[in-house]
């Protein structure tokens, strides 16, 4: 029997080769005039933008997980004003465009609070936006843990905090993982909008490069690759985590 | 009295056991209030009206007091309700460490000793999904017994099991009863109840119809509902 890992690797290679060939053939058929030498001279700019995107995404991910957890707890609170406040916050953040949130948040709110660091403000605003989605993913996972588990937790004598800490959250994490990974991938891509508050992240760097070197796709193809270099390992790591948390119910 | 919204699950469920009753069986038709009464007796549910007296002292109704009272009891449910993300051993040791403040070493020792005694030595590190129904229920009994509960409350512990596994679990319960463990058992296993129970509480429609010694209940039931119930249960046995 062939080793399943080897088989998967071979198939992965075949599929990638096929896709590259298709892409190449398509470009060849439209006679696209490549001009890589101009693009190459902007490589350090490109790397700098990539680093900025990574740093902002990492910071915003941490903010979004904290915000998501907080909003989820708030939405399940027995205190009516708190519950309504968190529900309203989730709906506002999810329902309005990120672009508007960034513009209002940076030029009005952060300005009023005298915070002038666009990177810091960008991280927080992006984190809040994605956190609203995460709150709903977390809430769905927590509420899917059935009443019999809650009763069993109470029966062995756990108080509320112990019940969440030892019974509900460990089981909910597994159910929240696939959705959370998807949301973090979205977050990385949504970070491209931060150029509107003057952050020169990857997409903005590529736009600058394209306009000054009179090229178009020479910037955008590496751009797609640069995002995939981050998002693919993230998805891979998440599926490993899912397997680690796997247990039948 | 225990209400769920408009519905009175228990109403007029008053009874008092004899002084020497150690194993109390709750019998009666499904939906009659056995499970609810069992949870109220163990402190898992707090009744809206009325009280539970243990040795003359009422169970507290404030959340903290109720939790303290609850922690002295052990519960076993019909659907086992083990924690699926933990192994059999962890299911037993986690509450010992978190709720009862035992050291990890002491909890491990207690857990291994109990699970081995209940025939699960080969399955200590398996998760519930890898165990049969009978094994899961025995692990659940070990979890309930681990902190040495004053009262062990079992809610139809064999209703989800086939006859062989039912036998395994009932053997365990009988041994515990013989060792002097105080037990409250809600069940439909009428011949088992007859063997091990000292006292029977018969419930129907949320009301205690009859509360008497086991001998009296099985040989000379007073209420017509109890007579009908016993006839129905023994029809095919």
A233 touches chain B (CB under 8 A): no
B67 touches chain A (CB under 8 A): yes
Residues A25, A47, single domain; the answer is: no
Residues A55, A3, single domain; the answer is: no
Find the closest chain A residue to B43 by CA distance: A155
Residues A11, A50, single domain; the answer is: no
> Based on the structure, what is the number of domains in chain A?
2
Q: Which domain holds residue A218?
A: 43-244
B84 and A248 in contact by Cβ < 8 A?
A: yes
In a domain, A16, yes or no: yes
pLDDT at B208: 85
Residues A11, A78, single domain; the answer is: no
Please tell me the distance from the alpha carbon of residue A25 to that of residue A5, in angstroms, as a whole number.
30
Please tell me the distance from the alpha carbon of residue B100 to that of residue B127, in angstroms, as a whole number.
23
Residues A24, A117, single domain; the answer is: no
Burial (CB count <10 Å: 0-12, 13-18, 19+), residue B98: middle
Residue ranges of alpha helices (H) inside chain B are 34-42, 63-70, 88-98, 104-117, 133-145, 163-178, 190-196, 214-219, 224-234
pLDDT at A18: 95
Domain B2-72+150-234 in this protein, CATH class: alpha beta
In a domain, A38, yes or no: no
Domain extents in chain B: 2-72+150-234, 86-149
Residues A91, A24, single domain; the answer is: no
B67 and A159 in contact by Cβ < 8 A?
A: yes
Under the banding of pLDDT at 50, 70 and 90, the label for residue B227 is confident
Under the banding of pLDDT at 50, 70 and 90, the label for residue B12 is low
B173 neighbors B196 (Cβ within 8 angstroms): yes
In a domain, A145, yes or no: yes
A167 min Cα distance to partner chain B (Å): 7
Over residues B72-81, the mean pLDDT reads 91
A154 and B70 in contact by Cβ < 8 A?
A: yes
B94 touches chain A (CB under 8 A): yes
CATH number of the domain residue A148 falls in? 1.10.3720.10
B110 touches chain A (CB under 8 A): no
Residues A86, A152, single domain; the answer is: yes
Whether pLDDT at B48 is above 70? yes
Residues A12, A86, single domain; the answer is: no
Could you state, in chain order, the average pLDDT of each consecutive group of 10 residues for chain A (249 residues)? 80 93 89 81 87 93 96 93 96 94 93 90 95 96 92 93 93 91 92 88 86 81 87 87 73
Has the ipTM of the complex gone over 0.95?
A: no
Give the nearest partner residue to A167 out of B71, B83, B99, using CB atoms. Answer: B83
In a domain, A249, yes or no: no
């Amino acid at each position: 029997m062939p080793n399943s890992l080897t088989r998967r690797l071979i198939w992965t290679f075949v599929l990638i080769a096929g896709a590259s060939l298709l892409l190449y053939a398509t470009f060849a058929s439209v006679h696209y005039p490549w001009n890589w030498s101009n693009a190459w001279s902007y490589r350090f700019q490109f790397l700098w933008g990539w680093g900025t995107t990574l740093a902002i995404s990492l910071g915003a991910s941490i903010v979004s997980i904290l915000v998501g957890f907080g909003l989820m707890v708030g939405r399940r609170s027995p205190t009516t004003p708190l519950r309504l406040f968190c529900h309203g916050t989730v709906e506002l953040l999810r329902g309005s465009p990120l672009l508007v949130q960034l513009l209002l948040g940076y030029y009005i709110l952060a300005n009023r609070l005298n915070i002038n660091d666009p990177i810091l403000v960008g991280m927080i605003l992006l984190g809040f936006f994605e956190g609203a989605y995460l709150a709903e993913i977390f809430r769905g996972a927590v509420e899917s843990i059935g009443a019999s588990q809650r009763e069993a937790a109470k029966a062995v004598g756990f108080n509320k905090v112990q019940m969440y800490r030892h019974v509900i959250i460990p089981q909910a994490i597994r159910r929240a993982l696939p959705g959370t990974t998807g949301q973090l991938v979205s977050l990385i891509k949504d970070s491209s909008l931060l150029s509107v508050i003057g952050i020169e992240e990857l997409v903005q760097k590529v736009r600058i490069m394209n306009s000054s070197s009179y090229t178009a796709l020479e910037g955008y193809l590496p751009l797609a690759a640069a995002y995939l270099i981050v998002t693919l390992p993230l998805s891979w790591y998440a599926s490993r985590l899912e397997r680690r948390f796997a247990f039948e119910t | 009295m225990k209400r769920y919204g408009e519905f009175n699950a228990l109403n007029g469920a008053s009874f008092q056991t004899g002084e020497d009753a150690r194993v109390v069986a709750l019998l009666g038709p499904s939906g009659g209030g056995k499970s609810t009464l069992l949870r109220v007796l163990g402190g898992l549910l707090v009744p809206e009206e009325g009280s539970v007296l243990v040795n003359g002292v009422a169970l507290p109704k404030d959340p903290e007091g109720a939790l303290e009272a609850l922690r002295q009891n052990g519960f076993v449910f019909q659907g086992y309700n083990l924690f699926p993300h933990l192994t059999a051993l962890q299911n037993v040791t986690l509450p010992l460490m978190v709720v009862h403040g035992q050291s990890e070493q002491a909890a491990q020792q207690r857990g291994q000793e109990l699970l081995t005694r209940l025939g699960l030595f080969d399955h200590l590190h398996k998760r519930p999904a890898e165990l049969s129904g009978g094994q899961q229920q025995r692990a659940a009994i070990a979890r309930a017994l681990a902190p040495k509960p004053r009262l062990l409350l079992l809610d139809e512990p064999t209703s989800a099991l086939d006859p062989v596994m039912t036998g395994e679990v009932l053997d365990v319960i009988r041994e515990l009863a013989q060792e002097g463990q105080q037990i409250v058992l809600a069940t439909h296993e009428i011949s088992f109840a007859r063997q091990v129970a000292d006292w029977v509480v018969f419930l129907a429609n949320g009301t205690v119809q009859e509360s008497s010694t086991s001998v009296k209940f099985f040989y000379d039931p007073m209420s017509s509902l109890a007579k009908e119930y016993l006839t129905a249960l023994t029809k095919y046995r």
